[in-house]
Amino acid sequence: MENSQIIRIDIRDNQTYEQIYAKQYNRGYQVQFEVTKDGEPLDLTGVAVAFELKKPDGHVVLSYGSITDNIVSVEITEQITSIPGKCKYQLSLTESETVIATVTGIIKVEESTVQDGDIESQDELGLIQQAIEAAPISVHSSELAVQSAEAAHISEVNAAESVEQAASIVSGLEIVSDTEPSYQHDGFFWAQPYN
């Protein structure tokens, strides 16, 4: 898809031509000038084209166009559209170092809604800030969870060792009486003392 604007100019007219419209920072499209002389297509063989533009900030842009038949094409660059406002331009056609025509016009560069250096919405920045502030809490919670897991493991190891020690003690006990316990006192069974 070709993105271009066509302007019809006659080198015999002494007028400012229709405005060219552009959006700030846009680039890569062309303005095509259909060149005529007294309403008839002008032969542009051997003609050079200079496109000169003065931006609202006072800086000048100079570029060169290409020619096919009687159509002059000029690329709109980001440098041309960098400053919003009305830019005066002139298109000069030169043959053998002789200027055969100069036409003037205006490029209206509409300001971009979002400018370089604009700050994103505070809402998104707030969410990012909250995430950054919450990060140390998450790290602290993770550290506590690791410490709790380590403490649980140590408790499990200690309980297993205690069971092993108790089993070892019980297995080393010797039954000293074949007498059945005859009464219970303080939750323990006791044998009747010998008379």
Three-state DSSP class for residue 39: coil
What average pLDDT does this structure show over 82-106? Answer: 91
- CA atoms of 77 and 11, how far apart (whole Å): 25
What percentage of the chain reaches a pLDDT higher than 90? 31
pLDDT digits (tens, 9 = 90+) for 26-57: 888 899 999 998 889 989 999 999 999 999 99
Residue with tokens 């303080």: 186
Q: How would residue 1 be classed by pLDDT, with cut points 50, 70 and 90?
A: very low
- Structure tokens given for 65: 């166009």
pLDDT at 28: 85
Q: Are the C-beta atoms of residues 76 and 29 closer than 8 Å to each other?
A: yes
Residue with tokens 């007294």: 38
Q: In terms of Cα–Cα distance, which of 12, 10, 59 is closest to 36?
A: 10
User: Residues with Cβ < 8 Å from 57, sequence gap 6 or more?
Assistant: 83
pLDDT digits (tens, 9 = 90+) for 165-192: 766 766 665 555 555 555 555 666 555 5
Q: Are the C-beta atoms of residues 33 and 4 closer than 8 Å to each other?
A: no
**pLDDT(119) > 80:** no
Where does residue 189 rank: exposed (0-12), middle (13-18), buried (19+ CB within 10 A)?
Answer: exposed
End-to-end CA gap in the chain: 121
pLDDT digits (tens, 9 = 90+) for 141-165: 667 777 777 777 787 777 777 777 7
3 or 154, which is more confident?
154
154 or 95, which is more confident?
95
Three-state DSSP class for residue 55: coil
21 or 118, which is more confident?
21
Q: Are the C-beta atoms of residues 99 and 49 closer than 8 Å to each other?
A: no
94 or 176, which is more confident?
94
